[in-house]
Amino acid sequence: MSGPLDERDSRWLNEAQIGIDVKQGRSTDVVGTHVTRVLPTKGRRTIGAWCFVDLIIPPDADDPDPLEIGPHPHIGLSTVTWLFQGEALHSDSLGTEQVIRPGQLNLMTAGHGIAHAELSTPGGVIGAQMWVAQPEATRHGEPAFEHHESLPAVAGDGWEGQILIGSYGGAESPARADTRLIGMDMRLRSSPAHLQLEGSFEYGVVPIDNPVKVNDHIVEAGWLGLIDAGPEELLLETQGGGARVMLVGGEPLGERIQMWWNFVGRTKEEMTDAWRAWQAHDTDRFGPVPTRLARLDAPPPPWIRQD
Ligand code: MN
C-alpha cells in the first residue's frame, strides 16, 4: 500500500540528512591556566548566541591549574561560568564578590562595560568558561551579575542533566537569556541516548571526558560536534562508562559579530573605544574590582598603528 510518509519515515529521512561538522579543540593558555578552546573555531564564530567555549581541563586530571585572572574588561557579552571541580571567587566592578562551586552558575552580563577578576582556591578548578554574545537590543545596556545556587534537573532517554540557561522539556533555567538559547551539562547513562532538539536551533555537542558518537560521527573529548538547524532529534552513543557532555545551542544570532581580546562588538571602532577606556583607567566605563590580583593590560589591537 502506498501513502504519505508517516512521522517515523520523515524522521529517518531527516536523520539521514543530518550533517555533523566535527572540529578539534585547540590547546591554549589563559593567564597561566591551560584551556581547550572549542569555540570560536576555524570557519565558525557562533552557535546560537554562544561565541566562546573554553574548557578548563588540565592535561593531568589530578593536577588542575589554579585560576588567577586579574581585573579585565568585557563588553557586549555574558560570561557563563560552570565548574566541574574546585571553587573560585568572582569579583566585579558592580561590587560583587561571589564564590562559585560545582552545580552553581555565575552569569555576568557586560552590556556597555564591566570589569571582573577570577581567583580559584589553590587546588585549582576544572570546568567551562563560556560567553554568550548579546544581541543589538541589549548590548549597549547596563552591566549585571547573577548567581544561581541550583538549576533545574532534566532527564531524557538515556541521559540526565542540568539546564544552565534556556529550557528543555518543560523545565526552565532562572538565568537571564537575551536570545533563545540552551546550555546543558549532560551525563549520558546508557547508549544510545536520545536528545530532542528545537528545529530552529543550531547546536554544539562538546564531550568532556569520553568520546561520543553523534549520529555516527565520533566526537572526541574536548572536540566540538556542530549541528546546523533542522533536525529534531539527536542520537548520542558512548562506550562503557558513559560520558559527560556540554550542550550549547540556540537560534542563529543573525548578527555578524567581531571579537577581539575580551570584547564582543560589531566594529573595530567600538573595540578601539573600549580598549582606550580600559588603558586610560576610565572608571566611568570599567569601575574598580575588589581583588588583590593585578589588573591585566590589554594588548594593542592589531589594527591600531603603534608609533
Ligand atoms: Mn573574563
Whole-number Å distance, alpha carbon 72 to ligand 1 midpoint, is 6
Dist. CA 178–CA 109, nearest whole Å:
10
Whole-number Å distance, alpha carbon 156 to ligand 1 midpoint, is 33
Whole-number Å distance, alpha carbon 81 to ligand 1 midpoint, is 10
CA 148, 31, 287: angle at the middle one, nearest 5? 60
Has residue 124 got a pLDDT over 60?
yes
For 78, 228, 269, the CA distances from 113, given in Å and listed in that order, are 11, 32, 15
Whole-number Å distance, alpha carbon 151 to ligand 1 midpoint, is 22
Has residue 277 got a pLDDT over 80?
yes
Q: If you compute the radius of gyration of the chain from its CA atoms, what whole number of angstroms results?
A: 20
Whole-number Å distance, alpha carbon 254 to ligand 1 midpoint, is 24
Task: Find how far residue 155's CA is from the centre of its chain.
Answer: 21
Per the CB < 8 A criterion, the answer to whether 126 and 98 are in contact is no
Has residue 113 got a pLDDT over 70?
yes
pTM for this one? 0.93
Set of cell numbers at residue 210: 569520553
Q: What percent of the chain has pLDDT over 70?
A: 94
Whole-number Å distance, alpha carbon 88 to ligand 1 midpoint, is 13
Mean pLDDT for 275-280 is 97
Which burial class, exposed, middle or buried, applies to 8 when counting CB atoms under 10 A from its CB (0-12, 13-18, 19+)?
Answer: exposed
Whole-number Å distance, alpha carbon 110 to ligand 1 midpoint, is 10
